[in-house]
């Protein structure tokens, strides 16, 4: 089991944050599954990821349901990571079960700090994940830059 990383979004939108995180995962040779709870949100994210970083920042990706799902370096969808993902990004309130957490190098939980419901849900996720003994970090951009604000006792 790797690390569960909570990203409290207060300044950057989801696509911008993913635009910074995805190249790091791909550089490690890891495939990524971005799981959401809303198809419309994933459609918007799909279009926005083509624009993140310009030509040099191209992020190869696709949406689930196509013939190449298993080959996608980054797959957006509502379901299971069928692309051999080592990173699971949870957006829009998506969740993962204990087996998925245990099988990933990284789990990114991105939540909108202006949404009280999402923030409360992230707090509950933190408690459940750390109580289960998983390594976790909490990152906030409240000061304008990303800063690690908390780490579970089992974290590196």
Verdict on whether the full-model pTM lies above 0.85: yes
Name the nearest CA neighbour of 135 among 105, 156, 104, 111.
156
pLDDT tens, position by position, 5-31? 999 999 999 999 998 899 999 999 999
Confidence at residue 154, expressed as pLDDT on a 0 to 100 scale? 65
Domain boundaries, the chain: 3-151
| Domain 3-151: CATH superfamily, name plus number | DNA polymerase III subunit chi (3.40.50.10110)
Bridge partner residues of 35 (DSSP): 77, 90
The distance of Cα 49 from the centroid of its chain, to the nearest Å, equals: 14
Position 32 confidence tier, pLDDT thresholds 50, 70, 90: very high
Length of the chain: 156
Contact assessment for residue 148 and residue 23, using Cβ atoms and an 8 Å cutoff? no
pLDDT tens, position by position, 52-81? 755 566 788 999 998 999 999 999 999 999
Q: b/e map of 43-64 (b: 16 or more CB within 10 Å)?
A: eebeeebeebeeeeeebebbbb
Confidence at residue 123, expressed as pLDDT on a 0 to 100 scale? 95
Confidence at residue 45, expressed as pLDDT on a 0 to 100 scale? 92
The distance of Cα 76 from the centroid of its chain, to the nearest Å, equals: 11
Contact assessment for residue 45 and residue 36, using Cβ atoms and an 8 Å cutoff? yes
């Amino acid at each position: 089991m790797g690390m569960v990383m909570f990203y409290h979004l207060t300044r950057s939108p989801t696509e911008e944050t993913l635009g910074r995180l995805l190249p790091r995962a791909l550089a490690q040779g890891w495939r990524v599954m971005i799981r959401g709870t809303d198809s419309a949100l994933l459609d918007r994210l799909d279009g926005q990821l083509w624009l993140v970083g310009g030509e040099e920042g191209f992020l190869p990706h696709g949406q689930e349901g196509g013939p190449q799902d298993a080959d996608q370096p980054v797959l957006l969808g509502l379901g299971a990571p069928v692309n051999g993902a080592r990173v699971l990004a949870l957006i829009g309130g998506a969740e993962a079960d204990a087996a998925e957490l245990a099988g990933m190098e990284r789990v990114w939980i991105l939540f909108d700090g202006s949404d009280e419901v999402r923030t409360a849900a992230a707090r509950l996720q933190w408690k459940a994940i750390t109580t289960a003994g998983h390594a976790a970090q909490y990152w906030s951009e409240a000061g304008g830059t990303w800063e690690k604000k908390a780490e579970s006792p089992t974290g590196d």
